[in-house]
Structure 1
Amino acid sequence: MAQVPRLPILARVNDPVPARRARSRLPLAGESVRERNKREKRERLLRAARELFVRKGFEATTAREICRRAGVGTGTLFLYVKSKRDLLFLVFREEARRLWSEALTSTERATSIVDTAARLFGAFIEYYDSNPALAEGLGAELLAGARGSDELIALNAEFLAHLVALIERAQEQGELRSDRPASTLAALFFAHYEHWVLAWLVMGAVPREVAQAGLREALELQVEGLRPGPRHAGHETRPPQARSPRR
């Protein structure tokens, strides 16, 4: 059975960059000249790739074009990533950290784990919708097979770690049962997100509004089955029933 590709989380790419560019030219504490040059080249490559992927799409952008825009030699790119596809995932990994921070701020008034998760996932869905060329290229790469991508693995691991932290808090507050690892519940939440985003963005089976509504309903049903109750308290389990002797 074919594996469903892991869909990474996307982030905003139209943030103001002048301040970040100025900061990138400042040496970090204890940083050598060589280390600073390496960091600056990496930042230029990521910025150039992000701008081109958003404007032209992944497929239409070449590695040579990225390097020319970043002001580095073509071979320099492959000192940082194994392929253009890995560069795509690295860009999203860097951007997702910023979007996650922004999204968490918007969930401060959320009243439940469902509301929190729906808002967080919704922020990423909005990005896909506003950057169709880039999102379509990403979907095509995932369907072509993203197995073995270190950047994609790291991207999903970071996002799941954030989900785990939110779910642990919900468990501590008594909103979710605590007799199962938060990592397991986070994987369930993420699976619902993947299903609906793939159905909308990659397969085109449903419109965005249906995907978002379906995702929220799936999260509500999931949480309903994970609410703490008498049989879930304190890892208690029902004692096994004595079997009647065979005749």
Structure 2
Amino acid sequence: MPARQRRKAARPQELLDAALALFVEKGFAATRTEEVAERAGVSKGTLYLYYPSKEDLLKAVIAQNISREIAESMDRVLRFEGSSAELLRLMLREWWANAGEASCGGICRLMMSEAGNFPELASFYEAEVIQPARSLWRAVLERGMARGEFRPMPVESTIAALMAPMLFLVMQRHTATSCPQLGSPVDPAEVVERVAELMLDGLCRPAAAPSDADRRPA
């Protein structure tokens, strides 16, 4: 492929990378499309050929960096062959890797702070991220209950209890990027492990006590 064609094929990704970086650094409202185009090394007109508005640009960033990850995680849940406790730990670790450690986690902070001013984008985020994420965790919990590994529970409120500390951790991590004073002295990966332990302590069925027959010498 000639260099010019390769460059053209790479432009959508370059624009999305530039938009993600600027949205996380400055916020959605404060970012201008001219800045995105300049950082990607193209004209504003070229940007609009691919993404007609700043809203379309943010939607594409969300779809590529978050929606796709959730869909891939759901596929792993459906194919997982280990215990549900192992699966829950894996999903929490992946969540942190994809939303905490990666720059796209800053989109979560952005949406929490700016969604009220952009209701159409908030609806898009709810449909593309929040509901699929809830479906993912619902699948994990229902799998555990169906296999007898987790005790019966109200699923929707359990999902909320599971997501809340992780969302706080993501928000804190990406706030600390611009305001180090608000960072945590504790390793976030260690916090993820504690969240998993606390959740599993409540979710897993206790091991059955040995019966009198089991205790009786052979």
TM band (smaller chain): 0.5 to 0.7
Matched, 1:68 2:60: no
Matched, 1:205 2:180: no
In structure 1, what is the equivalent of residue 115 of structure 2?
Answer: 146
Secondary structure of the residue that 1:92 maps to in structure 2?
helix
Structure 1 residues 205-232: Cα deviation after superposition (integer angstroms, max 9, x where no partner): 226x721221221222122123346xxx
In 2, Cα distance between equivalents of 1:161 and 1:71: 34
Instruction: Please provide the CA RMSD for this pair.
Output: 3.6
In 1, Cα distance between equivalents of 2:59 and 2:89: 23
Q: Which runs of 5+ in 1 are unaligned?
A: 1-17, 22-43, 78-82, 230-247
Q: Offset at 1:146? A: 2.2
Change (3 A) 1:124 1:53: farther
Change (3 A) 1:174 1:140: closer
Secondary structure of the residue that 2:203 maps to in structure 1?
coil
Aligned ranges 1:79-118 → 2 under 5 Å: 84=55, 87-88=57-58, 91-103=61-73, 104-105=75-76, 108=80, 110-113=82-85, 115-118=86-89
In 2, Cα distance between equivalents of 1:227 and 1:129: 26
Q: Which amino acid aligns with 1:144?
A: S
Secondary structure of the residue that 2:125 maps to in structure 1?
helix
Matched, 1:167 2:141: yes
4+ residue segments displaced more than 6 Å? none
In structure 1, what is the equivalent of residue 212 of structure 2?
Answer: none
Q: Which runs of 5+ in 2 are unaligned?
A: 1-5, 38-43, 177-181, 207-218
Q: Which amino acid aligns with 1:215?
A: V
Q: Which amino acid aligns with 2:141?
A: I
Q: TM-score, normalised by structure 2?
A: 0.61
Secondary structure of the residue that 1:174 maps to in structure 2?
coil
Match for residue 176 of structure 1 among 147, 150, 154: 150
In 2, Cα distance between equivalents of 1:63 and 1:164: 38
Q: Is the 8 A contact 2:165 2:195 kept in 1?
A: yes
Secondary structure of the residue that 2:80 maps to in structure 1?
coil
Number of aligned residue pairs: give it: 175
Match for residue 52 of structure 1 among 9, 18, 42: 18
Q: Offset at 1:91? A: 2.4
Structure 1 residues 126-173: Cα deviation after superposition (integer angstroms, max 9, x where no partner): 2456644x555x366246332331122221111111111111111111
Q: Is the 8 A contact 2:16 2:57 kept in 1?
A: no
Q: TM-score, normalised by structure 1?
A: 0.55
Q: Is the 8 A contact 2:16 2:60 kept in 1?
A: no
In 2, Cα distance between equivalents of 1:119 and 1:63: 38
Q: Is the 8 A contact 2:150 2:204 kept in 1?
A: yes
